[in-house]
Structure 1
Amino acid sequence: MKDDKRREEQLRAFQLKLGYEFKNAELLTEALTHSSYANENNAAYNERLEFLGDAVLELVTSARLFAAYPGFSEGELTRLRARLVCKNSLSDWASDNGLKPLIRLGKSIKSPTDSMAADCVEAVFGAVFSDGGYEAARGVISRFLDTKGEAAAPVMEKDPKTELQELLQGEGKTAPVYKLIERRGPEHASSFKVALSAEGGLAAEAWGPSIKEAEFKAAKAALEKLRRS
């Protein structure tokens, strides 16, 4: 009885940190239940909510980064999103917000792994979406992203093509020229090689999964050459 009351208090404290109070408390319970506990107690567990939460997390994060980094290519946005929502990032948030002690585990598991904790975070996001809809989930996930510096206070960087062009034009030179020189792979998974040339003998080459990405990489390589010289 005492343990039940203590857990209720912990759940209330967690919801305060989450910034969302569940109308259907069973959804939160399900989100915090690992399959090992469910198998021993014939209970619902969190894998379906995790599936849903993963999708909502990706959407909210993608929209935020798309707005925050207008100069970033698809590849750069994808890599940044992956860092923000990786297993370690989610597990750290679970620790900081008191989620880990709330995870219901089977008797053979002493404590949740980082992977289990990350899965529970995604399941909680899915539970919020199920309980309160997209705007509620967006609010909770936004607060999670606020704890990640790259999403909370992004550095508004110029893309490398723009930076290189402005640098050259500032020296009275013409804009660099990009030329596709090679393509490899099937239609659905091609790689592209782009060559960059500019006044003063500046040249660089780079591969990318798209022509645009290859151009960005070539511009970055050219910028590095200029900085070294």
Structure 2
Amino acid sequence: MKLLWIVSAALALATSTSVAAPDAFQASYTVSAKGLDMGIMNASLHYDGETYTYQKTTKANGLAALLSGDTLTERSTGKKQAAQLIPEQYLHHHKNKRKDRKDEFRFTTPTQVEGTFDGNAYQLSVPKGTLDMAALELHLMEALATNQALNYRLISKGKLRDYRLRKLGKETIEVPAGSYVCEKVEVIHDNNERETTLWLAPKLDYAIVQVRHKEEGDVIETRLKQYQ
């Protein structure tokens, strides 16, 4: 199901080489499309000594689960050095009744990557500080807190990609977890066929509170249900 892939991509939007590591947390989100409840996403960041694990698991529910059995697991693991998180391994596993697709890689050095996407092996030379699509969310939180530029490099589907965002100002929104004053940010896409907007709450150390993605006339929303 395309829904979970879009949710994952929409939520993955940052990189930096000089940000501070966020505190450990757990969060859950509702996922809806066309006004219907489609799934739930659980996210958690844990530390174990000098290592970190950030994992997100999204599962379809209700009718969507019966029709597709869709699940998406995304995980970034790496080192915590002083105030920085340095990714080492990444997994993106999207599975349903029709397909079982993986995107996984590891940094063999700070500028070399080995991985497989959809069963095809690849190697990349990348700039130092390049991130995976999960770890970059953690860097975005601190980038907003410290007013850094939102221009990013990351690896996705076996390729090195650029992401750019821009701030749209403050906005107060209501989500299942409550009311939050948020920093509103949009992704700068290469075409006008897609729109991705994020709301991040300073009260929660700039955790993502809501994401709205528009594509081909469809609107998918991910909204915070619980955070601790």
Query: Normalising TM by the smaller chain, what interval?
Result: under 0.3
* TM-score, structure 2 as length reference: 0.20
Rg comparison, structure with higher value: 1
Structure with the largest fraction of strand: 2
Structure with the largest fraction of helix: 1
* TM-score, structure 1 as length reference: 0.20
